[in-house]
Amino acid sequence: MAQWTSAVGPAQLARLLTSQQDRPAGPGTRRPPAYRALADGIRLLVLEGRVPVAARLPAERELALALSVSRTTVAAAYEALRTEGFLESRRGAGSWTAVPAGNPLPARGLEPLPPEALGSMIDLGCASLPAPEPWLTRAVRGALEELPPYAHTHGDYPAGLPALRAMIAERYTARGIPTMPEQIMVTTGAMGAIDAICHLFAGRGERIAVESPSYANILQLMRETGARLVPVAMAEGLAGWDLDRWRQVLREAAPRIAYVVADFHNPTGALADEDQRRRLVEAARSAGTVLVADETMTELWLDDDVEMPRPVCGFDPAGSTVVTVGSASKAFWAGMRIGWVRAAPDVIRSLVAARAYADLGTPVLEQLAVNWLFSTGGWEQAVALRRAQARENRDALVGALRRELPDWEFSVPRGGLTLWVRAGGLSGSRLAEAGERVGVRVPSGPRFGVDGAFEGFVRLPFTVGGAVADEAAARLSAAARIVETGGTVGAAEGPRTFVA
């Protein structure tokens, strides 16, 4: 019986491999034989999760035709991968990807670094900061004081605690968007909210329009639901959304859902202005597309003179087009897994009804903690601390990168938690691999795209500052030298323990 669970076609694999091109070889640069380069490319795709483990690879002749190389080259590459444990084969069943014994399975999202690795590895994988104390502790204590009445109930609140739903509705109303509690559902983080929305509106095979690039974990979530992703390219730098392109995609592809991060976009940091928001809502309404607006970064402006536009849902007064997602995880703490959906009451009722077959509800204690923060003013003070920390980290990281890697290109965002960096012509996938070897963990650009896009980019979050930001940039510079020269980690460039 075949040991593979999915398949990668020759054209798809060729596109993924072609996207990994490095800058042209310089004097003295060692280039591996063609078979070795092909084997390395497939190995990188497996390690990054862009080709799943146990995926059947094309036959040697098919891949050779797709890549315009000899069958001998492909056969030698496959044999090298088998020797290294990244490929298994069986006569009559073909060849499928694997990982060597003892290696962790590659994650297809941006999973947190294990705590035991923090002493030697600088983690630039997750855009999350430590909790803004003392506000976390105070919120939990406040929640415990409010808990006893709820402990005498069944504890299941599929739509969320009534008090928290009312508080979130009040906060939207205060922003100029009249909202009733019946328009709010509390979820387990923003991921839980978007998962519920995708299952309600977009069945398997439905099209979902997404920004390109977009948030990697959301893209993977949508793939897992069986959606067909339709990428819509972002403009260069912080210019953001090309509305002519969006109108064309919405009109011609007729996606069931469109997903956007209009407030300090992840990963680019772009902020959509009011005209872009208005035109995007109009285009979605005309196409009959549900526009999902992710507001998880909306309170993370970092410069004092930033004027925040009206929320995307403010351009949809009838409430028939825009579904808004919010969360405490980015603005407060990733460990506070509280998110919410704002939508028309009938949509909320449908989401709540469908939840009976998913997670039933969100933890009561965490809801009480967020409600305590909202009702006491603690939220505003905690988020102010978060902004100050992110601003300091942003400025430190930008300065360190400009010193260590002056040919890397980026625009400095005025909010959010991420820097989108063009890595001087180098492969982001190869930088990520080299970074692991020198002690800095960084996600490559293709994780934020569809089908191999953004190979020349990496995403760097504002999670480290001061001396750690300097060290991170130095390690990235060492990783870049490895990729440029095809060299190995030297004694001076190996990972070392670093304590902030």
**Exposed / middle / buried, residue 282 (Cβ in 10 Å: 0-12, 13-18, 19+):** middle
Q: What is the DSSP string of 315-339?
A: G-TT-SSEEEEEESTTTT-TTS--E
Residues ≥6 apart with Cβ < 8 Å to 425: 22, 23, 456
CA atoms in the 13 A half-sphere facing the CB of 255: 26
Token pair in block for residue 134 = 């003392």
Residue-wise pLDDT for 73-101, tens only, equals 999 999 999 999 999 998 888 899 888 87
Residue 19: which pLDDT band, with cuts at 50, 70 and 90?
A: low
CA separation for the pair 241, 280 (Å, rounded)? 9
Q: CA torsion angle for 405, 429, 108, 312 (degrees, to 10)? A: 50
Q: CA torsion angle for 342, 343, 349, 354 (degrees, to 10)? A: -80
The strand ranges marked E within 216-357 are 228-233, 257-260, 290-294, 322-327, 339-342
Residue 12: which pLDDT band, with cuts at 50, 70 and 90?
A: confident
Q: How many CB atoms lie within 10 A of CB 376?
A: 14
Contact status, residue 495 vs residue 121, Cβ threshold 8 Å: yes
Percent of the chain whose pLDDT exceeds 70: 89
Contact status, residue 306 vs residue 418, Cβ threshold 8 Å: no
Residue-wise pLDDT for 275-327, tens only, equals 999 999 999 999 999 999 999 999 999 999 999 999 999 999 989 999 999 99
Burial 153-184 (b: 16+ CB within 10 A, else e): eeeebbbbbebbbbbbbebbeeeebebebebb
**Exposed / middle / buried, residue 206 (Cβ in 10 Å: 0-12, 13-18, 19+):** middle
Strand partners, 234: 241
Residue-wise pLDDT for 412-468, tens only, equals 999 999 999 999 989 888 899 899 899 999 999 888 988 667 888 999 999 999 999
pLDDT of residue 351: 95
- H and E: helices and strands count for the chain: 15, 15
Indicate the residue type of 423: A
Token pair in block for residue 342 = 């704002």
**DSSP character at residue 181:** G
Sign of the Cα torsion 201, 207, 212, 217 reads positive
Least confident of 8-22, 60-74, 86-100, 361-375: 8-22
